Amino acid sequence: MWRTNLLLVLALIPASFCGPVNTLQKRGNVSFADPRTNNGSFLDNAGDGFSEPLNVVISGTSSPAVLTDEGFIGFAGAVGFAPECLGAHLGGPQSADLGDGNGFQNQTFELREDFGNFALGTCIEQLLGGNHLRLFRQNGSLADTGALFLAVSLEMGLLENHTIAENGYDVGRDNLVKKAVGLTSFNGTTYNTTAQNLTGVMPTGNATINHGIAVDGNAVLLIVEIVDTTQPG
């Protein structure tokens, strides 16, 4: 069974993955559209009336290859995230309305901290806890920006039922941003990432927030540029 699950993970990653090739054309010069403009939200739907913050946005002006599923997984590898352990997903999907005309859509996928081992490190995260993210794409007819909205949080391990750590939404966001800003690389592709604060995009406190963990109401916009792509030797 574990071999079958491993194949499912590897199916997300091209053979001899060497990072995205930045040949796609940009959609435009729009970083993202504020979901609240069209009755969306920076809070997703976690079920049972609770929500989790969409606290990191990958700008639609980033290198187009980064905004694809494959390309984002490559960038995620550069900042310490990878597909889930042996393809095994824990918990149900969450959904979000990004105000793009698509209404509520389930997350595209979930990635977890890999502790320096892209192939198997997420097994450690599922057992002991760590950072993880859910990805949602803004691509509806009302706001086809291509921006990626991430729900990032620091969670506890399996014995704690993956509940969110103390201050885990803000801490998870800040940990990801800290690792992302500046030059990073993964399998031959180098990224340069800059950050801008998005203040007050969601309510502060813990009202409706999953696990009763308070948030500071802020998100961070990341602009990710591919600056070099080489074929690994």
Pair 162, 131: CB distance under 8 Å:
no
What is the model's pLDDT at position 1?
A: 40
Distances, alpha carbon 34 to alpha carbons 37, 49, 66, 185, in Å: 6, 22, 20, 30
10 within domain boundaries: no
Q: Could you tell me if residue 99 is inside a domain?
A: yes
How far apart, in Å, do the first and last CA atoms of the chain sit? 33
Q: Do you know the residue count of the chain?
A: 233
Strands 219-229 and 56-58: parallel
Cα 225 to chain centroid distance, Å, stands at 16
Examine the pLDDT at 151 and tell me if it is beyond 70.
yes
pLDDT at 58 over 70: yes
Instruction: Annotate 134-174 with DSSP letters as a single string.
Output: EEEE--BTTB----EEEEEEEEE-GGGTTPBPTTHHHHHHH
Instruction: Examine residue 5 and state whether it is found in any structural domain, yes or no.
Output: no
The answer to whether residue 25 is domain-embedded is no
One DSSP character per residue, 186-221 reads ETTEEEEEEEEEETTSS--BSTTBGGG--B-S-EEE
pLDDT per residue as tens digits for the range 106-126: 999 999 999 899 988 888 888
Q: How many domains does the chain have?
A: 1
pLDDT at 159: 73
Beta bridge pairs of residue 155: 130, 164
Q: What is the pLDDT of residue 230?
A: 76
Q: Is residue 90 part of a domain?
A: yes
Is residue 9 domain-resident?
no
pTM of the model: 0.87
Q: Look at residue 32 and tell me if it is in a domain.
A: no
DSSP 174: H
Q: Does residue 4 belong to any structural domain of this protein?
A: no
Share of the chain above pLDDT 90, in %: 71
Residue numbers of the domain that contains 179: 43-229
Q: What are 172-184's pLDDT values in tens digits? A: 999 999 999 999 9
